[in-house]
Amino acid sequence: MTEAINTNDLKNTVEKLERLEDEKAMYTEVVKEAYAEAKAKGYCTKTLKHVLKLRKKDRAKIDEEDALIELYRGALDI
C-alpha cells in the first residue's frame, strides 16, 4: 500500500536540502582556504585541527584524556 505524497512539500524539502548542500560545499571551501592561510603563516594545520577539537570539549574531559595519555606514555616509555 502506498501513501499519498504531498508533491509540493516533497519538492520544497528537496530544494531546501539542495541549497543546504550547496552552502555546505561553499563553507567547506572557505574552511580549506582558511587552513591554507594558516599554513602559509607557518602554523601546523594538524595541530590547529586538534586545538579546535579541544576547544569544543569540557575542561574536565580534557584533563582526564591528558592524564590517560601521560599514563600510557609512561608505561610505553615514550
Same-domain pairing of 32 and 50? no
Beta-carbon contacts of 54 under 8 Å, excluding residues fewer than 6 positions away, are 62
Same-domain pairing of 54 and 36? no
Same-domain pairing of 38 and 65? no
- Mean pLDDT, residues 31-44: 98
Q: What is the pLDDT of residues 62-73, one digit of tens each?
A: 999 999 999 999
Give the domain range for residue 60: 44-78
Same-domain pairing of 26 and 1? yes
Same-domain pairing of 56 and 73? yes
Residue 70: phi, psi to the nearest 5?
A: -60, -40
pLDDT value of position 72: 97
Q: What is the pLDDT of residues 4-35, one digit of tens each?
A: 899 999 999 999 999 999 999 999 999 999 99
pLDDT value of position 42: 98
Q: Rounded to whole angstroms, how far apart are CA atoms 78 and 70?
A: 9
Full-model pTM: 0.69
Beta-carbon contacts of 39 under 8 Å, excluding residues fewer than 6 positions away, are 45
**CA 14 to chain CA centroid, nearest Å:** 24
The number of folded domains in the chain is 2
Same-domain pairing of 28 and 60? no
